[in-house]
Structure 1
Amino acid sequence: MRQYSSSTRTGFFTAVHGWLMLLPAMVLLVAFTHYPALATLWSSLFSTPRGARPAVFVGLDNYAVLRDDPVFWQAMWNNLVYAFWTIPVSIAIALLMALWVNRNMAGRGFLRLAYFTPTILPMVAVANIWLFFYTPQYGLLAQIGQWFGLGNVNWLGSPDTALPALIVVAIWKEAGFFMIFYLAALQQVPPSLREAAMLEGSSRWNYFRRILFPLLMPTTLFVLVNALINAFRLVDHVVVMTKGGPDNASTLLLYYIYQVGFSFWDTSYAATLSVVLLTILALAALIKFRWLDKQVHYQ
């Protein structure tokens, strides 16, 4: 009979113990992430069951329909514009707010609370607050416009302003959330770095550009990925404020998925749209972990 040494047995039990510790997280990950993704991909290859008619395998027919769907391309374009503005602007504002409230000044705690307050509000509540701001004739913006003699603007009812109005709401909601991460990162930077830079005659701008901002790049990358995900997953304000209108001018991709799946009850086509959304997020994650991580952490 083959004999095993005590060190081999110890290594075996250590490995088993490690896998058992990982098992709950692995089960949750598979059950709520990997399996739904694969099930969505599989569902996109079938037709939607209707009454007594079961689902039928249709291959890539749903993707052919998606290719020729003008509403899908409108929603995709809207989402790209939405992401193009919300991501850099919210990150820039978050960084400026973090730099401001990280200084030693009176009322610093109150400012931090004021900047962070929009983050703790549900998006539905935020949407209703801004719905009052945007209301024609009676809203806050309309009242301010009257003081300056400006005309009445239907911010949410015009195709030219509906999407920008949603972008402003998203930036107001997310900037305070991203500020917390920058503030935590700034508090980890040794004050001696700034003192040494000032002694060497460096200006504040040079210190920020050459020393501080490079040190904040890991935080910036983390915030960037979260902002990208939020740009494709937040639709509460669309439901409350515009419902994708007017004429799909403010329809985002996830809202279109919701509309197809729960208003039109075309679950297979909704699954096809979801596969596109998952692919976009997967590509973003791939870029983050395979390239940007190495660039940021100087590996």
Structure 2
Amino acid sequence: MPTARALDPIASRQRRLHALYGWMLLAPALILLTLFAFLPTATTLIASVHSRGTARRPSMFNGAENYADLLADPTFWTVLGNNLVYAGITIPVSIALALLMALWADRHLPLRGFVRGAYFTPTILPMIAAANLWLFFYTPGLGVIDSVTGLFGLPPVNWLGQPQTALGAVIAVTVWKEAGFFMIFYLAALQTIPPDLKEAALVEGAGRLTYLRRVLLPLLMPTTAFIFINALINSVKLIDHLFILTKGGPNNTTKLVLYWIWEMAFSYFDRAHAAALTVLVLAVLGAVAVLQFAVLDKRIHYR
């Protein structure tokens, strides 16, 4: 019979093999995350505390000067306000429309497959293609919207060329593009809810609104939280349609944070301030993620 001392080296060798096997499984994801997430983040953080370098004058450490410049720039507050309005409208409207479309598409309709496909079609279009499509709606005097309103004697409107309507026009494109994508998650979640719950609620005398508020929405909260985080991230990262529709104009009324980062980095070649703004965006998204895991998850019941 092997003694305890003889078994210790064997157990230790097995633990080392298990640890090596675990690191081998983690290696592909760890390498990709290091190359495309950790290193770019560290490089951006370092660049954000250095001055803008030129061929004759290399960049130097300047601490928080880049951040102070951003806070003192009126364009920063304009862009921040634009993004807050953009997110504050696109997120709840997209989620509400997605839920309504999912509830409708989940019913026993004669053309249920066609309805689901029609709702999901905008999602499969690239954002550039969707923006070009919406140009046919927004073109002053010749677009679909002005053609319809002209039938009622209304004058043509330059939807993308005036500050009063430009941001709203961009928001409409985003909502149209994202609502169908979020609908898929709600539709999948609805199909996992047992029909017995609805039958029991009807037996107890609950109406449709009561069933929706007391049963359906609480069960959909995990899906809603997931969609909310995705919608929040999309409200910061979706800028493709700006290149086609407005290019941030008129007078910066549709310029969003990521578009301004791209503009500073590749149009003005101001990598230092672009890096500082990127760090601020990452900090805000990180704070939202912490809020989700610390607060929202405690209020959500997963089944």
- Report the TM-score, using the length of structure 2 for normalisation: 0.95
- 1:151 aligned to 2:178? no
For residues 223-256 of structure 1, the C-alpha deviation after alignment (integer angstroms, 9 at most, x for no partner) is 0000000001100111110011010011001000
Counterpart residue type for residue 288 of structure 1: Q
2:268 to 264, 269, 286: 264
Query: How many Å separate the matches in 1 of 2:79 and 2:104?
Result: 37
Secondary structure of 1:113's aligned partner: helix
Distance (whole Å) between structure 2 residues aligned to residue 192 and residue 94 of structure 1: 24
Unaligned runs of 5+ in 1: none
User: Is structure 2 residue 217 aligned with structure 1 residue 226?
Assistant: no
- Residue 246 of structure 2, aligned match among 227, 242, 248: 242
Structure 1 residue aligned with 2:57: 53
* Alignment pair present for 1:91 and 2:95: yes
Unaligned residue ranges in structure 2 (runs of 5+): none
Question: Quick check: 1:35 aligned with 2:39?
Answer: yes
Determine which of 67, 82, 101 is the counterpart of 2:71.
67
Shift of 1:221: 0.1
Tell me, yes or no, if structure 1 residue 195 matches structure 2 residue 202. no
Contact 2:219 2:301 in 1 (8 A): no
Percent identity over paired residues: 53
Say whether the 8 Å CA contact 2:48–2:272 is kept in structure 1.
yes
Alignment match of 2:121 (pick from 106, 117, 124): 117
1:251 aligned partner: 255
In structure 2, relative to structure 1, the CA distance for the partners of 1:298 and 1:125 (3 Å cut) is closer
CA distance in 2, matches of 1:11, 1:200: 57
Per the alignment, residue 172 of structure 1 pairs with 176
Q: Is the 8 A contact 2:201 2:211 kept in 1?
A: yes
- What CA distance in whole angstroms lies between the structure 2 residues aligned with 1:153 and 1:175? 26
Q: Which moved more, 1:211-220 or 1:49-58?
A: 49-58
Question: Does the alignment pair 1:135 with 2:135?
Answer: no
| Deviation, structure 1 residue 13 | 2.1
Q: CA deviation at 1:48?
A: 1.6
Describe how 1:284-295 pairs up with structure 2 within 5 A: 284-295=288-299
CA distance in 2, matches of 1:197, 1:270: 54
Match of 2:164 in 1: 160
Shift of 1:43: 0.2
Question: Cα offset for 1:259?
Answer: 0.6
2:8 aligned counterpart, secondary structure: coil
1:25-55 Cα deviation digits (max 9, x unpaired): 1121122112211210110111121123211
Deviation at 1:2, TM superposition (A): 8.0
Could you tell me which residue of structure 1 aligns to residue 8 of structure 2? 4
Distance 2:24 2:299 in 1: 35
- Does structure 1 retain, via aligned residues, the 8 Å contact 2:146–2:156? yes
Amino acid at match of 1:112: R
Shift of 1:5: 5.2
C-alpha root-mean-square deviation of aligned residues, in Å? 1.5
How far is the alpha carbon of 1:3 from its aligned partner? 5.9
Query: 1:186 Cα shift?
Result: 0.3
- Give the deviation of 1:9 after TM superposition: 3.4
Q: Distance in 1 between matches of 2:200 and 2:7?
A: 63
1:7: how far off? 4.0
Partner-residue secondary structure (3-state), 1:160: helix
**Secondary structure in 2 aligned to 1:197?**
helix
Name the structure 2 match of 1:76.
Answer: 80
Figure out how many residues of one structure are paired with residues of the other and give that number: 299
8 Å contact kept, 2:198–2:211: yes
